[in-house]
């Protein structure tokens, strides 16, 4: 994986897609594994509708191909945020065109105009592909927020019960 600003290395290989359709493990020529969070998209988690389908589509698109990774930053989890290119194409585009990921508008300003996927999402919505077959699909970031709130609610309930039992 070339450092930001360096020419991308074409001999990286995808080791595996994560449990989500927007993250990959890529092995570079020195056999170092890197976690890549695909820039500009967000896919359903494994629990909601289309989560597993999204992951499988990403796997089918990249595995076991040589890929290029272009990136400029890491996220708070240490993953590289980047564009992955396989067979000359950005692997995010088929995810959005198939209705298996959202264009991540929150980070749109970090993308060049050519890298933005909003038009592909609009077309997938119009054609009711993938998650757009549902009348109101829950966007991934809202699903994560809801899941986190439920988890914190359960945790606080456990703490209250434990305190009452020992009080």
Exposed (0-12), middle (13-18) or buried (19+): which is 100, by Cβ within 10 Å?
Answer: buried
Given 45, 55, 57, 70, which residue is catalytic? 45
38: left (phi over 0), alpha (psi -120 to 50) or beta: beta
Secondary element (H or E) of residue 16: strand 12-17
Catalytic annotation present for 37: yes
Instruction: Give the helix, strand, coil percentages of the chain, each rounded to 5.
Output: 40, 25, 35
Q: Do you find a cis peptide bond into 64, omega within 30 degrees of 0?
A: yes
Catalytic annotation present for 57: no
3-state SS, residue 146: helix
Given 57, 70, 79, 121, which residue is catalytic? 79
Catalytic annotation present for 121: no
Instruction: Give whole-number Cα distances, 63 to 10, 52, 99, 153, 164, in Å.
Output: 15, 16, 20, 39, 52
Instruction: Report how far residue 70's alpha carbon sits from residue 67's, in angstroms, rounded to the nearest whole number.
Output: 10
Q: Which residues are catalytic?
A: 37, 45, 79
């Amino acid at each position: 994986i070339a450092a930001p600003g360096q020419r991308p290395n074409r001999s990286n290989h995808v080791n595996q897609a994560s449990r989500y359709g927007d993250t990959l493990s890529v092995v570079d020529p020195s056999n170092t594994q890197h976690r890549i969070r695909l820039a500009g998209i967000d896919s359903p988690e494994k629990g909601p509708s289309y989560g597993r389908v999204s992951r499988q589509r990403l796997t089918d698109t990249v595995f076991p191909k040589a890929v290029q990774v272009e990136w400029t930053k890491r996220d708070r989890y240490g993953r590289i945020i980047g564009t992955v290119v396989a067979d000359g194409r950005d692997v995010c585009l088929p995810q959005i065109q198939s209705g298996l990921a959202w264009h991540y508008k929150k980070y749109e300003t970090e993308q060049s105009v050519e890298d933005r996927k909003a038009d592909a999402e609009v077309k997938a919505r119009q054609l009711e592909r993938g998650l757009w077959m549902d009348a109101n699909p829950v966007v991934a970031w809202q699903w994560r927020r809801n899941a986190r709130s439920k988890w914190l609610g359960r945790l606080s309930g456990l703490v209250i019960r434990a305190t009452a039992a020992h009080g």
